[in-house]
């Protein structure tokens, strides 16, 4: 059976972008593949969270993985820092990751531009740690959003470079994967790009948001003053609302508002009300389960321990072989 690895950086509550971009793929894949889904807490250290925030964020993501429907009996769910073998492989891969290629990574350049006061080595080698996450389990499929494709290419580069250096056909090549024909992009509510936590307050709808919070955020979403001619192309902020509606509403609902827009009869207030209600309905089962699991410390501990054991079993096998290949030998 093919192996699948993916993770989400633990920076707090998950939003609709994480759900429709990644989690839904995780949930479908767990029935068909040997899946490892982890919480990337080591990656979250690049922004220096406090110990309390770090732990709270990991716990929240674990709760939301489970609430969204990842089954710990089917997939291996684990916390990245519970598997120290990953950091060992990261060190080995770092010896063959070149400064030039790391500096050229789009995500690195974006981070440098956004936070010029915190350009640390962990940020530079983020793709190396991500490659270690993936190839430690010899994964071939990685369900991720479109923005991660360059990182996947780097993971292939690092794995292949190891294979060539030691003249060993050891790590297979991992590829980005998505059910459905294209990798989905979920826009935010600010009228600009994708939904994200760092794009500002009110831009993201979280799985744990109350219905009231969802209504409030959607009603405040950016819109224009309306179409002035029939069948006018939609500006980005309006297209974004339609894109969101496409994900949570029925095709009939989308068609209704599309027609209203084309006839210049649209009332954005009505569209937003409908969008908010459909978002509330789409997330209701997850919200209920979040509330049910959140206080079950015993269950969370059991899931995390079981996942760490299974992940370490797989990771330590790889590390044993990698050490042998590299030439670490016993006297």
Q: Which residues are annotated as a binding site?
A: 9-11, 17-18, 133, 145-147, 186, 194-198
Question: Which residue of the set 28, 185, 192, 194 is catalytic?
Answer: 194
Question: Distances in Å between the alpha carbon of 44 and those of 11, 40, 193?
Answer: 6, 7, 22
Nearer to ligand TRP by Cβ, of 122 and 211: the residue is: 122
What residues have CB less than 8 Å from 201, skipping those under 6 apart? none
Residue 109 annotated to the active site = no
Alpha-carbon gap, residue 25 to 84, rounded angstroms: 26
Piece in contact with ligand TRP (CB under 6 A), picked from 5-13, 232-240, 249-257, 263-271? 5-13
Nearer to ligand TRP by Cβ, of 194 and 234: the residue is: 194
Position 5 contacts ligand TRP (CB under 6 A) = yes
Q: Kindly tell me which residue out of 35, 130, 207, 303 binds ligand TRP, with binding defined by CB under 6 A.
A: 130
Q: Which of residues 37-66 bind ligand TRP (CB under 6 A)?
A: 40, 43
Residues forming a β-bridge with 37 = 6, 77
Q: Give backbone dihedrals phi and psi of 139, rounded to 5 degrees, phi first.
A: -70, 150
Q: Kindly tell me which residue out of 142, 186, 276, 280 binds ligand TRP, with binding defined by CB under 6 A.
A: 142
SS3 10: coil
Position 315 contacts ligand TRP (CB under 6 A) = no
The answer to whether 133 touches 7, Cβ cutoff 8 Å, is yes
Question: Distances in Å between the alpha carbon of 100 and those of 113, 116, 128?
Answer: 17, 18, 13
Nearest to 79 by CA among 125, 43, 119: 43
Residues forming a β-bridge with 175 = 141
Position 133 contacts ligand TRP (CB under 6 A) = yes
Question: Which residue of the set 141, 197, 217, 272 is catalytic?
Answer: 197
Nearer to ligand TRP by Cβ, of 183 and 238: the residue is: 183
The DSSP secondary structure of 161-197, one letter per residue, reads: HHHHHTT---SPPPEEE-SSSS----B-SSSSSB--G
Position 9 contacts ligand TRP (CB under 6 A) = yes
Q: Kindly tell me which residue out of 14, 58, 79, 134 binds ligand TRP, with binding defined by CB under 6 A.
A: 134
Position 6 contacts ligand TRP (CB under 6 A) = yes
Nearer to ligand TRP by Cβ, of 32 and 296: the residue is: 32
Could you list the residues that contact ligand TRP (CB under 6 A)? 5-9, 40, 43, 130, 133-134, 142, 144, 148, 151
């Amino acid at each position: 059976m093919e192996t699948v690895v993916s993770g989400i950086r633990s920076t707090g509550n998950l939003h609709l972008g994480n759900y429709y971009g990644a989690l839904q793929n995780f949930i479908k894949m767990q029935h068909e593949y040997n899946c490892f889904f982890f919480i990337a807490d080591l990656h979250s250290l690049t922004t220096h969270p406090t110990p309390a925030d770090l732990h709270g964020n990991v716990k929240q993501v674990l709760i939301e993985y489970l609430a969204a429907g990842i089954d710990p009996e089917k997939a291996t769910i684990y916390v990245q820092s519970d598997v120290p073998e990953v950091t060992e492989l990261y060190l080995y891969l770092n010896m063959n990751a070149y400064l030039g290629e790391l500096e050229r990574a789009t995500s690195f350049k974006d981070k440098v531009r956004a936070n010029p006061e915190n350009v640390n080595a962990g940020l530079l080698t983020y793709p190396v740690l991500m490659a270690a996450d993936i190839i430690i389990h010899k994964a071939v499929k990685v369900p991720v959003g479109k923005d991660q494709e360059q990182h996947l290419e780097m993971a292939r580069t690092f794995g292949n470079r190891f294979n060539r250096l030691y003249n060993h056909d050891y790590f297979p090549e991992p590829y980005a994967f998505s059910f459905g024909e294209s990798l989905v992009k979920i826009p935010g509510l600010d009228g600009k790009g994708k939904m994200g936590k760092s794009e500002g307050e009110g831009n993201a709808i979280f799985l744990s948001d109350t219905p009231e919070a969802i209504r409030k955020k959607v009603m405040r979403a950016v819109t224009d003053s309306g179409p002035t001619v029939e069948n006018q192309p939609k500006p980005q902020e309006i297209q974004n609302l339609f894109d969101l509606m496409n994900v949570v509403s029925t095709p009939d609902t989308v068609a209704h508002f599309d027609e209203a827009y084309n006839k210049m009869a649209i009332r954005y207030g009505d569209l937003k009300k409908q969008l908010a209600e459909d978002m509330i309905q789409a997330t209701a089962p997850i919200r209920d389960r979040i509330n049910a699991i959140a206080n079950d410390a015993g269950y969370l501990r059991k899931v995390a321990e079981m996942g760490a054991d299974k992940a370490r079993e797989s990771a330590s096998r790889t590390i044993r072989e990698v050490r042998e290949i590299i030439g670490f030998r016993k006297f």
